[in-house]
Amino acid sequence: MTIIRLYLSLFSVMSFRRIWNYLLMIKGFYLSLLFRKVIVWGQPFALSAELVRGCNLHCPGCVGGTLHGEDVKQMSPGLLEKTLISVYKRTFYLQLWFQGEPFLYNELTKAFQLSQKYRMFSVLATNGLLLNESINQQLIDGKLKKLIVTIDTLPSSENGYRVGGNEASVVTHIKQLVQQKKLHKSKLPWIEAQMIVTSENENQIDEFKRVLKEAGADHVRLKPAHFNRLDDPDLPVPSKYARYKKHPTGIWEPIQPIRNRCRRLWSTLVISHKGQVVPCCFDKGIMYPLGNANQENPTKIWKAEAFNKYRKAILKNRRQADICRNCTE
């Protein structure tokens, strides 16, 4: 029954305008595929706002993991509200992260207040290490709808994908959040525990599911590991839950074919902590800036020539974009 709570909370933020916009968005996407030309109707249904660029871990391949202490960058609450004001009438799904650990954000309470003010379905992803009684209370009071806690292995493992992590602490923190929810008679946030599957931990999948379910997670999701360097023949690619296959040359390549399409370019607006609008969450290094929400209305950037030019290029040849060659969307 827990999944029903999640859907009910999603329906609670819907309006006729938001539903109609979603249908227009989907229609525009499929017409674009049919006629092989860019047709953008409506606004994105989802917004990904980078509250923080920086992290308390040092995971391989993560640009946020290279920024710590004073180097951590944060989005101003003013920019977040300005963006929400421009999109909230049609956009309803709010992801409060991009490349960083959201619990490092100094204005987390303010972010939750804004998500409530504009009736957004708020989602937050974290490595879980910073969860504590104070933050738990902010999640509950802020009516966060969904919390994604990314873990890659069990406390007994020595092969952690998240460098600097402590899986035992994260499991304990999830238990504490569940207890705090019960104390306040709150059904939310709905907790999803993600396991990043590699060849080094795939033998732990059954035990991982058991441990996290016992901790109180509402759902356990298995997520194939993503690697930036595919020219390493010794990558710990899992055998069953694999994103890649090895080419005869020894180089890894995505199992799923890279088709000349991308739903995200028609559905999700991604804004960095500086306000830069990028095509999608795979543009971690801001290689393809399409505009800046500090200077322009994000809804105008969404339909502007630069964004449509990028969409057109993807419909023609998706492999030409660096950020798309290692994506299975």
Instruction: Respond yes or no on whether the N-terminal peptide bond of residue 248 is cis (omega within 30° of 0).
Output: no
117, two tokens: 């003010």
- pLDDT, tens digit (0-9, with 9 covering 90-100), for 107-158: 999 999 999 999 999 999 999 999 999 999 999 999 999 999 988 655 444 4
If one counts every other C-beta atom within 10 angstroms of the C-beta of residue 160, the result is 21
pLDDT for position 153? 57
> How confident is residue 226, by pLDDT bands cut at 50, 70 and 90?
confident
Among residues of the chain, what percentage have pLDDT more than 70? Answer: 93
Cα–Cα distance for residue pair 114/257, rounded to 1 Å: 40
Q: What is the pLDDT of residue 211?
A: 93
Rounded CA-CA distance 326/329 in Å is 9
CA 60 vs CA 96, 97, 173, 226, 263: distances in Å: 22, 18, 24, 10, 27
Closest CA to 291 of 316, 312, 309: 309
209: helix, coil or strand? helix
Average pLDDT along the chain: 91
The DSSP output letter for 63 is S
Whole-angstrom distance, CA of residue 132 vs CA of residue 180? 10
- List Cβ<8 Å contacts ≥24 apart for 204-212: 204/153, 204/154, 204/157, 205/241, 207/154, 208/151, 208/153, 208/154, 211/154, 211/171, 212/151, 212/171, 212/174
Q: Alpha carbon 296 to chain centroid distance?
A: 24
Spatial separation of the C-alpha atoms in residues 207 and 154, rounded to whole Å: 8
At 196-207, the pLDDT tens digits run 888 888 888 999
Averaged pLDDT, 74-98: 97
Kindly report the pTM of this predicted structure.
0.93
Helix, coil or strand: residue 302: helix
Torsion of the alpha carbons at 57, 63, 69 and 70, rounded to the nearest 10:
-170
Decide if 244 contacts 227 (C-beta within 8 A): yes
The DSSP result for 124-183, as a single string, is EEE-STT--HHHHHHHHHTT--EEEEEE-S-TT-S--SSTT--HHHHHHHHHHHHHHHHH
- The pair of structure tokens assigned to 56 is 């308390």
* C-alpha to C-alpha distances, 36 to 130, 196, 239, 260, nearest whole angstrom: 46, 35, 36, 9
Over the stretch 30-74, which tens digit does the pLDDT of each residue have? Answer: 999 999 999 999 999 999 999 999 988 877 667 766 666 778 899
Instruction: Say whether 45 sits in a helix, a strand or coil.
Output: coil
User: Cα dihedral sign for 49, 55, 57, 61?
Assistant: positive
pLDDT score at 10 = 96
Quickly state the pLDDT bin for 165 (edges 50, 70, 90).
low
